[in-house]
Structure 1
Amino acid sequence: MTETTTSAGDDFLADFHHVATIGATPAGGVERQAATPEDALTREWFAHFASRRGWAVTTDRIGNMFASVEFTAGAPYVLLGSHLDSQPRGGRFDGAYGVIAALHATARIADRVRADGRTPQFNVAAVNWFNEEGGRFAPSIMGSSVFAGTMDEERMLDVTDADGVSVRDALAAIGYLGTDERPEVAGYAEIHIEQGRILEHEQIRIGAVDSSWYTQKLDVEVLGEQSHTGATAMADRHDALVAAARIVLMVEEVTAEFPPEALVSSVGQMTVEPNSPIVVPRRAHLVADLRSADPEIVLAARDRLRERIDAVACERDIRIDVRDFDVRDIQRYPEDGLELTEKVCADLGYSVRRMQTMAGHDSVPLNRIAPTVMLFVPSVDGVSHCEREFTEDADMVIGVDVLERIGWEMIHGALAHATS
């Protein structure tokens, strides 16, 4: 590694570890849910990074932020980015690493263009997508999906959190309900921690994502009857939470009916009403998440669960409404992008392997509208969405090097003829 590269890596690490102090939790994670004051602080840092370099900083109506560098007037942009929002008590690497890497890669590309003297075919911009995590506002991957046209902007602005605050009002409250036009996109590249154990176990530096898993969620509303926990006979109760508990277990148990690890599922969110210690719950609302590399497995599990949920409703004499939502087909990333990643890694001397992503990312909707490259760096123990999430500094620095080189190739026309 050259002295210049080492210095650039040190600058990146200083910024990464500084941003990790914003919304920091005692156990080393972060709490920066979408459109909160902590999210606003990271946005201000993003804007400052760009503004002091003379880049244009814009925000669209769904809160996506762009830090743009124009080389060729009127040309589309190669976007590099990820998200700065976090899960509740989440990890400091998920999303934020990709945004900070994108800013530094963009800065290096801009410096290189000035030194090179050639005018690139495309411009470059770093992007911070709004509400990728979906912890406060569902569904997840919201900002990039609105950008790609796969979610309706007005409907997403009307989405509310658990306290009834809308996306529109939350963004306005932190000063990021934008009005700026969105850049025309020529291509997109994103780097992210793997959130799995493959790269670490195989001691490989970079993952080149070739496809995403099929995913869908079930929105389940259990409607019972409120009554006194001490005065109501057991035979007379219509307990929504008991029924919901049965459903939670069924969502986990259905995975055992398929080959090991072919299906992953969980209930990650539940609300109970009235949530009083002396009242039998009248309502429980939960969200089940089903994912597999094989869409038929997800659909089979979904059908079995719906049949069993109907049986629980009959058995408990209550009403259960189930709604399919946030269904995402398998996305396959362009072969040209995979080959470009492999070439860049070979040139830089880094090991690389192709792999799937089980998790969703902003690259999934972007891949529908522009040639897209998705990269992974190793995650220690594969842990994510918790404070123990960790990736080594050296692996992050390598990822920035690879992202920079891929961005450089893309602004000069690599992948321009590819389709997603």
Structure 2
Amino acid sequence: MSTEAFLTDFHQVAAIGATPAGGVERQAATPEDKEMRDWFVAFAAQRGWPVRTDSIGNLFALVEWRPGADYVLVGSHLDSQPLGGRFDGAYGVIAALHAADRLAARVAQGEPPKYNLAVVDWFNEEGSRFAPSIMGSSVFAGLMDEQEMLQVADPDGVTVAEALDAIGYRGTDERPTPVAYAEIHIEQGPVLEREGIALGAVDRSWYTQKLDVEVLGEQSHTGATAMADRRDALVAASKVVVLVHDVTAEFEPESIVSSVGHLTLEPNSPIVVPRRVHLVADIRANAPEIVQEARALLLERIAAVASEHDLTIDVRDFDVRPVQSFPEQGLEISEKVAADLGVGIRRINTMAGHDSVAMNRIVPALMLFIPSIDGVSHCEREFTTDDQMAVGVDALTEATWELLQGGLDEEAGQ
């Protein structure tokens, strides 16, 4: 397959769920996600590749050369954030499909590799409709309980199981047995663009944890309740949001990030003082002790807010993700591929979570980054050039070829 064929597919697929400002909205198990999945299945069917759908909605297009052999998995995710970008996740899946097509043509001219190949679309990587994120790959890797995840509900009360059934993608197929995993993704940060480097070889993930915060005040009338008598959950929650933001100033620059990206309030009426606010704080750092120190500071300061406003604030830890180091052998493969292609590469941390981080817990994983213009992501302005994407497809193709030959067998103990 040519670069032109890849670019044609990429830009055509970006029309699915397209937003007016150039992004996409394809949250997990929505009609738009179904349309993307249908496209994935059709791409595989045109090439005679069987597709399996497992019980958490992951899709696997199988390219089999050696019956009974294990699989190198390569892919990413097709779902998006609300008003998200058209590159995040989808680029990795479309690049993987085209890499597989190129490799199938290569094998047709010679000896089959040691392993088979499976291109994967992981379910609900983004976690915007159903929390937590990185769900499909985490269930696959045994890091999350499948039955518990199937019962997770969206804000409208629709469960994962119901949503997958509604779009026809809750399957019963056997999962392919992996021996290694590869993924390519936009960086979602500024480093590669700033340094003028074509590729990043991901060597380490950041420590991540979320805090589930529930602020419980008292509902009352906005016009009839004296200010001194109010126990306003939203006012207290607003101070918590600022605390989460400001705690990063206690640490070295660029060593920690934090945010509150999800907030709901009850009863959400313009003439009622809110009685309850639920929010999720996200803290990430390049070392676990930094996150733990930030968490301790936040708990102390949040308790002071609760006391000041005479209300209750409950804080619960969840979705804690340890630092993951990617295998040295995979980094060396990535660097060799870049040298052979004549492009620059550097080792780089990933601050964002990815399916590769979950997969790296059970098999050796290799992850590549390509640049993100201005370092922005999870928004409609997200952008990577055609030339940058094309280099990435070439690199993924050659890296996957190395894995198919057993390039990470030593790391896997094969």
Q: Give the shorter-chain TM-score range.
A: over 0.9
Q: Confirm or deny: 8 A CA contact 2:179 2:412 kept in the other structure.
A: no
1:152 corresponding residue in structure 2:
145
Pairing 1:28-177 to 2, within 5 Å after superposition: 28-116=22-110, 118-177=111-170
- What is the Cα deviation at residue 419 of structure 1? 3.9
Q: Confirm or deny: 8 A CA contact 1:334 1:419 kept in the other structure.
A: no
String of CA shifts for 1:207-244, please: whole Å, max 9, x gaps: 00000000000000111111100011111111110110
Counterpart residue identity of residue 47, structure 1: V
SS in 1 for 2:43: helix
Counterpart residue identity of residue 365, structure 1: A
SS in 2 for 1:150: coil
Counterpart residue identity of residue 49, structure 1: F
SS in 2 for 1:100: helix
- What is the Cα deviation at residue 164 of structure 1? 0.9
Pairing 1:13-412 to 2, within 5 Å after superposition: 13-116=7-110, 118-412=111-405
Q: Confirm or deny: 8 A CA contact 1:76 1:123 kept in the other structure.
A: yes
- What is the Cα deviation at residue 108 of structure 1? 0.7
Counterpart residue identity of residue 230, structure 2: R
- What is the Cα deviation at residue 119 of structure 1? 2.3
- What is the Cα deviation at residue 285 of structure 1? 0.4
String of CA shifts for 1:63-111, please: whole Å, max 9, x gaps: 1000001100111100110000000000000000000000000111111
SS in 1 for 2:410: coil
- What is the Cα deviation at residue 46 of structure 1? 0.3
SS in 2 for 1:417: helix
SS in 2 for 1:405: helix
Once residues 391 and 45 of structure 1 are traced to their aligned partners in structure 2, the CA distance between those partners, rounded to angstroms, is 22
Counterpart residue identity of residue 312, structure 1: V
Show structure 2 runs of 5+ residues with no match.
none
Identical amino acids, percent of aligned pairs: 68
Q: Confirm or deny: 8 A CA contact 1:65 1:129 kept in the other structure.
A: yes
Once residues 304 and 160 of structure 1 are traced to their aligned partners in structure 2, the CA distance between those partners, rounded to angstroms, is 32
String of CA shifts for 1:98-128, please: whole Å, max 9, x gaps: 0000000011111111112x12110001100
SS in 2 for 1:190: strand
- What is the Cα deviation at residue 155 of structure 1? 0.5
Counterpart residue identity of residue 155, structure 1: E
Once residues 232 and 202 of structure 1 are traced to their aligned partners in structure 2, the CA distance between those partners, rounded to angstroms, is 57
String of CA shifts for 1:4-33, please: whole Å, max 9, x gaps: xxx610000000001100000000000000
How many residues in Structure 1 have an aligned counterpart in Structure 2? 413
1:416 corresponding residue in structure 2:
409
